[in-house]
Structure 1
Amino acid sequence: MSSPDSFLYSNIIHIERNSSQPVYLQIVYQVINAIQRGYLSKGMKLLGTRSLSHILKVHRKTIIAAYEELDAQGWVETIPNKGTFVIESGENRGIRIQTDQQRDLASYPKKTGFRFRQSNLLDNPFEHAPCTYIFNDGVPDPRLSQIGYYSNFYSANLKRKNSYQKIGYYNTEGSEYFKEYLSQYLNISRGLHISKNNLLITRSTEMSLYIISEILLSRGDIVVVGDPSYFAVNMIFQKSGALITPIRVDEAGIRVDLIEELCKKAPIRMLYLTPHHHYPTTVTLSAQRRIELLTLASRYGFVIVEDDYDFEFHYDNSAILPIASADTDGMVIYVGSFGKSLAPGFRTGFIVAPENLMIEMRKYLGIIDRQGDIIMEQALGEMIEGGEINRHLKKSAKIYKQRRDFFANLLYLYMGSQLRFSIPTGGLAYWLCWQQPISLLQLSIHCLQKNLFIPRTLLYQNKEYTALRLGFGHLNNEEMESCLQILQEVSEALKK
Structure 2
Amino acid sequence: MRVLSSLITIEKSGKGAVYLQIANQLVALVRAGTLQPGHKLLSTRELAANLKVHRRTVVQAYDELLAQGWLESHTGRGTFVTKHLPTMQPASGGTRSTVLPKSQKEAGFTFEKLSHLNRPVLKPVNRLHLDDGFPDPRLAPRAELARAYRSQLLQGNAYSRLGYGETKGSAWLRQELSSHLNETRGLTTTTDNILITRGVIMGVHLVSTLLIKPGDHVAVDSPGWFSATMNFVHAGATVTEIPVDEYGMDVSALERLCEQKPVRMVYVTSHHHYPTTVALRADRRIALLQLAAKYKFAVFEDDYDYDFHYLSKPLLPLAGADSHQMVLYCGSFTKTISPAFRVGYLVGPEDVITELALLRRIIDRQGDQMLENAIAELLQTGVIQRHLRKSMRVYKQRRDHFCDLLKSQLGDSVNFEVPDGGMAVWTRFDTTINLTHLASRALREDLYFSGATSEIEMRNNAIRLGFASSDLNELEESVAIIKKLL
Please give the TM-score of this superposition, normalised by the length of structure 2.
0.92
The residue number in structure 2 matching 1:486 is 481
The residue number in structure 2 matching 1:494 is none
- Asked if the contact 2:334–2:340 (Cα under 8 Å) also holds between the matched residues in 1, the reply is no
CA distances 1:388-444 after superposition (whole Å, capped 9, x unpaired): 111111111111111111111111111232222121111100011235453222222
- Asked if the contact 1:248–1:255 (Cα under 8 Å) also holds between the matched residues in 2, the reply is yes
- Asked if the contact 2:37–2:82 (Cα under 8 Å) also holds between the matched residues in 1, the reply is yes
Q: In the superposition, relative to structure 1, how do residues 295 and 167 fare at CA in structure 2: closer, same or farther (>3 Å)?
A: farther
The residue number in structure 2 matching 1:235 is 230
Q: In the superposition, relative to structure 1, how do residues 480 and 375 fare at CA in structure 2: closer, same or farther (>3 Å)?
A: same
1:55 aligned onto 2:58:
no
The residue number in structure 2 matching 1:377 is 372
CA distances 1:73-123 after superposition (whole Å, capped 9, x unpaired): 554344454322222554434132646652743565443232223211112
Question: 1-side partners of 2:445 and 2:269: how far apart?
Answer: 34
Q: Could you list the runs of 5+ residues in structure 1 that have no partner in the other structure?
A: 492-496
Question: 2-side partners of 1:65 and 1:299: how far apart?
Answer: 71
- Asked if the contact 1:450–1:486 (Cα under 8 Å) also holds between the matched residues in 2, the reply is yes
The residue number in structure 1 matching 2:113 is 118
Name the SS of the counterpart of 2:418 in structure 1.
coil
Matches within 5 A, 1:414-429: 414-429=409-424
Question: 2-side partners of 1:463 and 1:381: how far apart?
Answer: 42
Question: 1-side partners of 2:367 and 2:48: how far apart?
Answer: 49
Deviation at 1:246, TM superposition (A): 1.2
Deviates further, 307-316 or 125-134: 125-134
Name the SS of the counterpart of 2:41 in structure 1.
coil
Q: Could you list the runs of 5+ residues in structure 2 that have no partner in the other structure?
A: none
Amino acid at match of 1:46: L
Work out the number of aligned pairs and report it: 486
Q: In the superposition, relative to structure 1, how do residues 340 and 78 fare at CA in structure 2: closer, same or farther (>3 Å)?
A: same
The one of 63, 66, 70 aligned to 2:61: 66
The residue number in structure 1 matching 2:264 is 269
Question: 2-side partners of 1:20 and 1:441: how far apart?
Answer: 41
The one of 353, 356, 363 aligned to 2:351: 356
The residue number in structure 1 matching 2:323 is 328
- Asked if the contact 1:437–1:466 (Cα under 8 Å) also holds between the matched residues in 2, the reply is no
Task: Indicate the percent of aligned positions where both proteins have the same amino acid.
Answer: 40
The residue number in structure 2 matching 1:257 is 252
CA distances 1:27-81 after superposition (whole Å, capped 9, x unpaired): 2333244435544232110023344234322234432443344445554344454
Matches within 5 A, 1:75-94: 75-87=70-82, 90-94=85-89
Please give the TM-score of this superposition, normalised by the length of structure 1.
0.90
- Asked if the contact 1:441–1:459 (Cα under 8 Å) also holds between the matched residues in 2, the reply is no
Matches within 5 A, 1:409-448: 409-448=404-443
The one of 4, 20, 37 aligned to 1:8: 4
Q: In the superposition, relative to structure 1, how do residues 463 and 345 fare at CA in structure 2: closer, same or farther (>3 Å)?
A: closer
Question: 1-side partners of 2:124 and 2:382: how far apart?
Answer: 39
Name the SS of the counterpart of 1:249 in structure 2.
strand
Deviates further, 30-39 or 404-413: 30-39
The one of 150, 153, 156 aligned to 2:151: 156
Question: 2-side partners of 1:197 and 1:133: how far apart?
Answer: 43
Question: 1-side partners of 2:484 and 2:342: how far apart?
Answer: 38
Amino acid at match of 1:454: F
CA distances 1:138-166 after superposition (whole Å, capped 9, x unpaired): 00011222433322221111112368889
Q: In the superposition, relative to structure 1, how do residues 368 and 165 fare at CA in structure 2: closer, same or farther (>3 Å)?
A: closer
Question: 2-side partners of 1:169 and 1:299: how far apart?
Answer: 42
Matches within 5 A, 1:441-456: 441-456=436-451
Question: 2-side partners of 1:416 and 1:436: how far apart?
Answer: 14
1:300 aligned onto 2:295:
yes
The one of 243, 249, 265 aligned to 1:248: 243
1:195 aligned onto 2:190:
yes
1:41 aligned onto 2:32:
no
CA distances 1:225-254 after superposition (whole Å, capped 9, x unpaired): 111111111111111111221111111111
